[in-house]
Amino acid sequence: MKPSVWSSYFIDLSPEDMVKAFSGKGWSYSELSDEHAAALLGRGKPDVVGKQFREFAEEHGLKFLQGHLWLVCDITAPNQNEVIDILKIWLELFDAIGIKNAVLHPGGKYMINEGCHPDEILDVRVNSLRRLLEYIKDTDMYICLENINSTAPGFDDLIKIINAVGSPKLGICLDTGHANISGIDQVEFIKKGGSLIKALHIADNEGISDQHMMPYGKGNVQWDKIVSALKEINYTGLFNLEIPGENRCPLEIRMAKLDYIKYMVSYMLNQ
Q: 59 is in which domain, residue-wise?
A: 2-269
Instruction: Count how many domains the chain has.
Output: 1
The pLDDT tens digits of the residues spanning 208-263 come to 999 999 999 999 999 999 999 999 999 999 999 999 999 999 999 999 999 999 99
3-state DSSP of 88-104:
HHHHHHHHHHCCCEEEE
Beta bridge partners of 148: 152
Which residues have C-beta within 8 Å of that of residue 191, sequence separation ≥ 6?
Answer: 229, 232, 233
The closest of 26, 202, 220, 192 to 103, measured between CA atoms, is: 202
CA–CA separation, 93 and 99 (whole Å): 9
Cα 87 from chain centroid (whole Å): 15
> What CATH number has the domain bearing residue 174?
3.20.20.150
CA–CA separation, 86 and 93 (whole Å): 11
Residue 271 binned pLDDT confidence (cut-offs 50, 70, 90): confident
Q: What percent of the chain has pLDDT over 90?
A: 100
CA–CA separation, 217 and 232 (whole Å): 25
The pLDDT tens digits of the residues spanning 108-129 come to 999 999 999 999 999 999 999 9
Own/partner pairs for 255-258, CB < 8 Å, 24+ apart? 255/21, 255/25, 258/5, 258/9, 258/21, 258/22, 258/25, 258/27
DSSP H helices in the chain: 15-24, 34-41, 46-59, 80-97, 109-113, 118-135, 155-165, 176-182, 186-193, 223-232, 251-269
Q: Is the pLDDT of residue 103 over 90?
A: yes
Q: Is the pLDDT of residue 130 over 90?
A: yes
Q: What is the mean pLDDT of residues 25-43?
A: 98
